[in-house]
Amino acid sequence: MKPLDIGVCSWSLKQPDLVSACKVAKEQLGLSLMQVGFFDTSVLDEANDDKILSALGDNGIEASATCIGYATEDYSSIAQIAKTGGYLPDEYWDERFKLTLRVRDISAKLGAKMLMTHIGFVPHDSSAPAYATMVERLKKVTDALGEKGITLVMETGQEPPDALIGFIAAVGRENIRVNFDPANMILYGVGKPVEAVDVLKDYISHVHAKDATWSKAPGKEWGQEVVLGTGDADVPRIVQKLKSYGYAGPLVIEREAGDERISDVRTGIDLLRSLV
């Protein structure tokens, strides 16, 4: 993986399976870098591992990172994902930790050094019992990933940048970093992406190239995801800042809305190539 290498998230291509996504990335988009997502319990079946490895290997695709999400997460509103997201809900913790371990093992087989997830909403009050619970759970997650030389990269958007840094310090592990997603800052209504780069610069190891527009009620209602370069994230300034701070990780396009995914991703590729 070269510095500022451009890639795409497997789920952004809206293909029926990983093999098809890899073929589209390579043959239609000319990409050789992909973040590979796992979002249901089928990942528990180790019999699928060879198919996953072949999907990437046969198409000359490198994994920038893996990603894990959970079918029991509810993204219907910001309030609902705050209740159901990541490692916070007690009723799902054991199951989600088990899934994390499986994706860790697949990541190691793929040679991916980073695993990304939305860890769940961290309580704003660091003295709250739930905050301590999240700290202990993230210690367990990062320790488990560290056994295979893998870093947890937390998706931005659910906490303000300063709060995210404070949480990283509380966890106190070397292998916990940030996946910077400028659109999520807008979608969740927690801060301006360009300013967030200045705050998080020392913690960013992976970047989602994604764009969005603000909602009329930031923090209460979702913003709207849009084609890269057409929203409020100010992608050119973000890339400029990342370069000025010496960021050398990937720029991975994530597109989760719209019916013209391949065309939209192609537009994003053209923009990023003009910037790097």
- Residues 89-119: pLDDT tens digits? 999 999 999 999 999 999 999 999 999 999 9
Distance CA 227, CA 65 (A): 22
| Beta carbons of 67 and 9 less than 8 angstroms apart | yes
Q: Enumerate residue ranges in the chain where pLDDT < 70.
A: none
Residue 41 pLDDT? 85
CA distances from 240 to 193, 222, 255 (A): 13, 27, 21
Q: Residue 260 has what pLDDT?
A: 95
| pTM exceeds 0.85 for this model | yes
Residue 21 lies in a domain: yes
Structural domains of the chain, count: 1
CA–CA distance, 31 with 59 (Å, rounded to integer): 10
Q: Is residue 1 part of a domain?
A: no
CB 179 within 8 A of CB 153: yes
Q: Which residue has the tokens 């509810």?
A: 74
The predicted structure's pLDDT at residue 158: 84
CATH number at residue 28: 3.20.20.150
Q: What was the pLDDT predicted at 42?
A: 86
Does 148 fall in a domain? yes
pLDDT recorded at residue 185: 95
Whether 22 is covered by a domain: the verdict is yes
pLDDT recorded at residue 44? 86
- The helix-helix angle for 235-244 and 261-275 (nearest 10°) equals 50
Q: Looking at the domain assignment, is residue 186 inside a domain?
A: yes
Residue 100 domain-assigned (yes or no): yes
Query: Residue 100 is part of which domain span?
Result: 6-275
| 71 assigned to some structural domain | yes
pLDDT tens digit string along 118-139? 999 998 888 999 999 999 999 9
